[in-house]
Amino acid sequence: MTKGGEKIEFENDRVRVIRVKLGQREKHPVRTRKDRVLIWLTEAHEQRTESNGKTEEIRRRPGDVAWRTASQHQIENVEEKDVEVIIVELKK
């Protein structure tokens, strides 16, 4: 089982670009994120849990792009494959 993590790839006064890796069946700690664009680099099957307890199942393919507004949430990789995504977080 591979353990994931986060790495800031680029940052300036307007954006932060973060590479996120989740290992097989790994659950990311609760995170607070600003408005952002997500770009999946791998296939993904994830469970997203909002701070209010609402859950959402997410299935993505490499190259899929999504917009998310600011939120506090937790992501769990529910597959036996690693997941990798780029997050472009807006600062203003």
pTM check: above 0.85: yes
User: What structural domains and CATH numbers belong to the chain?
Assistant: 5-90 (2.60.120.10)
The tens place of each residue's pLDDT in the chain, 92 residues long, gives 456 799 999 999 999 999 999 999 999 889 999 999 999 999 999 999 999 999 999 999 999 999 999 999 999 999 999 999 999 999 98
Instruction: Give every CB contact of residue 44 below 8 A, 6+ residues apart in sequence.
Output: 58, 59, 60, 77, 79, 83, 85
Give me the half-sphere count of Cα atoms (radius 13 Å) on the Cβ side of residue 4: 21
Asked if 84 contacts 19 with a C-beta cutoff of 8 angstroms, the reply is yes
- Rounded to an integer, what is the distance from CA 71 to the centroid of its chain? 12
Look at phi and psi of residue 81 and say left if phi exceeds 0, alpha if psi is from -120 to 50, else beta. Answer: beta
